[in-house]
Structure 1
């Protein structure tokens, strides 16, 4: 399938949905395309209309089209109406409070339904708290995953982190400032005190701060600080597991022999338990004698 160069909204009379990234802090990060679309789109679907009005006021512009609120509590009821507008030829601009719509923000349901309906969906890329935190963390960026907000309940959160304990990719999370301490404590318990991490707060804003270090140090900072602002937490992936060597289990074989087991029986038992080659373990036992 070849890529398609889309004409500017309104040039061909075809409706479309445009997902547009908004600043995550610094208003100067608003792109010229975002500014143009805010003024020219037929409809602007906003996660919070009050935040939208503050944005356009800061940009010194006015919204040219109809403004509709579209958030997690009305996505289900309003998606069909928005698709109807796009199907009728309107350009629909989708914006959230900060960053890219559909990424831990409203928008996914709209895109999913639009794709199913065969409508055009495009994007105006821009600020992203996920990528900004990842880039500033000092942790590996070649492979990463975004986990959003962890469950609030301790049991559910522990269960999620247990699933991620062996994750090799760098992980990016969001968290509210008043829940950062218990979140870091849960990470500390699940991943160990020495796992490297970074806490990024107020990204691109005046009081931007990125703290880097092992989870034990970051937890101590959170316990002794009054944390404020929007938070992203980046955690290094699990280190590569060191494979067992037959030499590491010679003592276990000798212990069974000392208890009265025959050498071959002891080798077979330990090899099965540790998933080792019986031949290699037997050779290691003989070489140690």
Structure 2
């Protein structure tokens, strides 16, 4: 009997010790998961910069040329390496030419609600397009890594999309909107990264002019602004000329989706310039954009 009592006491002590160990671990894990601001600061700007430079080295990505198609392949592969489901969708450009939209998916518990982080794969036909839009691709693949590496269970499905053919008046995003009316109908926000990676402030576009006016959603702008301020990044709100891939989400026959084009302004290098090369990219600017957008996605998707 004495030995049984001792054995029971030992078992109780072991279980109690395990509980003491498990409880702080569980609490620490929960804090890590739900501290969105701290998780956003895990954005690695060096990773993003490395991918962006690799894209730029390919050369101008325009009109469905081989370089644009290669960039789409690299983006799809990087999404998969970073732990998220990825696929390409072919976009017809006419005249036998085509490009791809590359779509990364982080499934939410409610798969009838969507949040989209967009950019474009192509560049002007005469330059590397480091900020237009190579840096944005680097931000996207690093955001994908952050979101997939955490115990992050979003309510809404997050789509991280690189659109082809943006320089041809938004061909890729227009194709996506027509092909996926159910996603557009149930999309609660589109954040579009355009001309980031070499500027001073996180710039939130409240109004753009051509080809028709697009107004950034005030609630979405305010949320992203609050994220930048929480992370102590400089943020400004203003107007720009072109809406980039927010345009088809704003003008379509299905739904006017809440949109915000995010840029880096004032520009340190003109986007439409032969000088827009990888050596002009600013790692600190990429970090500010990346952290801000990561935090915004956490808040939008939960």
Verify same fold: TM over 0.5.
Answer: no
The structure whose residues are more often helix, as a share, is 2
Tell which structure's C-alpha radius of gyration is larger.
1
The structure whose residues are more often strand, as a share, is 2
| TM-score computed with the length of structure 1 as normaliser | 0.26
| TM-score computed with the length of structure 2 as normaliser | 0.26
